Structure 1
């Protein structure tokens, strides 16, 4: 698709199921988010759009003036379960969201204070990683080029945070330097799949029209301390990464746009537990991703004629936007929204 045809953007929202909005609003304000739109749906409409028999009130959180990487707090009157909570990241159905920061150690300070206060938190120490291949410099003489990244799991949030050192990607994350934790909007969101054939990946490229920006990037237990800790890799285990971007993005990493979707693909020989029933609308915690499109009828027809399941009609969502939901071939439930 070119810019003259119907287009899709980067991941628009990460949706978080909750029962009490105030604590979550206060939490995300520290990351630079602010209250935007609010809206409600009655249980019959919610059932038709999200498959949940519950009244729903939602609050969209904006981040500066960016048009993606937003948050939707979905306040369920009758949540169906507690969600993924703080389960392992190595589970089918897993969802998490990543933000850029200018001070990962400041976030670590808050995390460690939270642990001391008895809050339920699982985290990893910020590990040094070489994300992009650059010429190796001389330690203590040349700049060290890489990131520090850490995982932060809490009952309602599943986050990865990273800080860059000595390189920039101008369109990949816009940091709110006035926020307490000096973070960007969500730069990317992730999922775990098992599909040695990679056939399910074709849906995102061929049907939704996303740009396959990275593919078959392999990470093993031996090659990455951060991945070892975040994804519970055991000796000899590995996974491959495929990244799908906003079509306006680029395969040149220095020109990449945020809004990326990371698909972590484990070999089928590894026995992974399924958490799909804990990461769909109606669950608490991170339970849905959305894309925003123009000409939603065009995308509805494309999706309907693909191998998806459980596709709904186009229905006005809680914000009055044309919207429909479906389960992609990899088992993840998605929601598309009209601009």
Structure 2
């Protein structure tokens, strides 16, 4: 979701030295699939501007070493208009471990999703509404089930007082679209731009961009999230901040509120070498971590490689051996050795202190 508070916080943070070991923000959002739905998923993502750029395979033994899944693997790397970050990886498993997150709403531990800009979010909403109606009416005859939250308007930097038709009215319309194998948030900007964050493929049917943000829901202690900046070196721009979301965002996230024993805190992490003092130069590929204090269902086992649907985030690092040493001596668990992934890149995987599975690759 578009996060004005996080971007404002970026302005007061120092830059990182150019010779420091670097890590990207989001490099890939990965989706688990089977051979039966492989072609349909590629066709689906083509409507949002993604195209296959690279493919590769691993044997069951190799996949077990790197991802902990005893199944052969065929993967496709897809990109939109951006080729160095916010890509999509389709991981086709011969023997999937489980059905994945399915139609679980965003608010669950283990929930992952990609947020993209669209120039026509209401067109996506129209398709989602019709898909849901067709599914309920014809009971599986017209496609996959759909769970969605229709577009909600959120204000971004609106002046106070505000004069309609005289002053700019910066805002977004945001919506949620969840299907058994995909979890997406879309937003459309009005009256403001960020040219390097959300680069739309104009030839795509839904006029959609790369992933501007990747989302995580956690219920761990605040200190466990120190791993992302203190060990991995990401740049924290919002920290343990209680989100004062308006009613529109409460609907998106299905928040009950503190009066019902539920409290949400916001964290935002950026790639260290891509942050800018000029918020108009903000780049895509950031992580939005939402930490809940309250009772949530735990779906972490359905949100890791081998699961169907959204199952993994990857990041690129400049020196894989240095990052291996950092992670293996931290509180991360199940740290693998460095192996070649399905694309021939040096990689290793681990579980972060908050319970999420990650893969780093050198590039």
Q: Normalising TM by the smaller chain, what interval?
A: over 0.9
Aligned to 1:173: 198
Aligned to 1:209: 233
Aligned to 2:25: 10
Q: Residue 263 of structure 1: SS of its match in structure 2?
A: strand
Aligned to 1:302: 326
Q: More displaced, 230-239 or 67-76?
A: 230-239
Tell me the CA shift for residue 230 of structure 1.
Answer: 2.4
Q: Which has the higher helix share?
A: 2
Say if 2:267 is the partner of 1:250.
no
Q: More displaced, 236-245 or 42-51?
A: 236-245
1:39 to 50, 56, 63: 56
- Distance, in Å, in 2 between the alignment partners of 1:302 and 1:157 is 32
Give deviations 1:85-120, integer Å, cap 9, x for gaps. Answer: 011211111101100111111111221222233241
2:348 to 308, 319, 324: 324
- Distance, in Å, in 1 between the alignment partners of 2:151 and 2:315 is 30
Say if 2:311 is the partner of 1:287.
yes
Give the conservation status (yes or no) of the 8 Å contact 2:313–2:358. Answer: yes
- Distance, in Å, in 2 between the alignment partners of 1:140 and 1:238 is 37
- Distance, in Å, in 2 between the alignment partners of 1:96 and 1:132 is 25
Q: Residue 250 of structure 1: SS of its match in structure 2?
A: coil
Distance 1:203-1:252 versus aligned 2 partners, 3 A rule: farther
- Distance, in Å, in 1 between the alignment partners of 2:266 and 2:240 is 6
Q: Residue 9 of structure 1: SS of its match in structure 2?
A: coil
Say if 2:143 is the partner of 1:128.
no
- Distance, in Å, in 1 between the alignment partners of 2:83 and 2:179 is 26
Say if 2:97 is the partner of 1:80.
yes
Tell me the CA shift for residue 194 of structure 1.
Answer: 1.6
Q: More displaced, 223-232 or 322-331?
A: 223-232
Q: Residue 248 of structure 2: SS of its match in structure 1?
A: helix
Q: CA RMSD in A?
A: 1.6
Distance 1:39-1:134 versus aligned 2 partners, 3 A rule: farther
* Aligned counterparts, 1:22-37, within 5 A: 22-37=39-54
- Distance, in Å, in 1 between the alignment partners of 2:351 and 2:327 is 10
Distance 1:53-1:106 versus aligned 2 partners, 3 A rule: same
Say if 2:292 is the partner of 1:266.
yes
- Distance, in Å, in 2 between the alignment partners of 1:132 and 1:96 is 25
Distance 1:136-1:327 versus aligned 2 partners, 3 A rule: farther
Q: Residue 209 of structure 2: SS of its match in structure 1?
A: strand
Q: Residue 163 of structure 1: SS of its match in structure 2?
A: strand
Distance 1:153-1:261 versus aligned 2 partners, 3 A rule: same
Tell me the CA shift for residue 251 of structure 1.
Answer: 6.3
Aligned to 2:246: 224
Q: Residue 308 of structure 1: SS of its match in structure 2?
A: coil
- Distance, in Å, in 2 between the alignment partners of 1:173 and 1:2 is 26
Aligned pair count reads: 334
Q: Residue 243 of structure 2: SS of its match in structure 1?
A: strand
Q: Residue 78 of structure 2: SS of its match in structure 1?
A: strand
- Distance, in Å, in 2 between the alignment partners of 1:252 and 1:299 is 29
Say if 2:109 is the partner of 1:92.
yes
- Distance, in Å, in 1 between the alignment partners of 2:62 and 2:335 is 15
- Distance, in Å, in 1 between the alignment partners of 2:82 and 2:255 is 38
Tell me the CA shift for residue 180 of structure 1.
Answer: 0.6
Runs of 4+ in 1 over 6 A off after TM superposition: none
Give the conservation status (yes or no) of the 8 Å contact 2:175–2:185. Answer: yes
Q: Residue 46 of structure 1: SS of its match in structure 2?
A: helix
- Distance, in Å, in 2 between the alignment partners of 1:57 and 1:188 is 26
Aligned to 2:177: 152
Q: Residue 25 of structure 2: SS of its match in structure 1?
A: strand
- Distance, in Å, in 2 between the alignment partners of 1:331 and 1:224 is 29
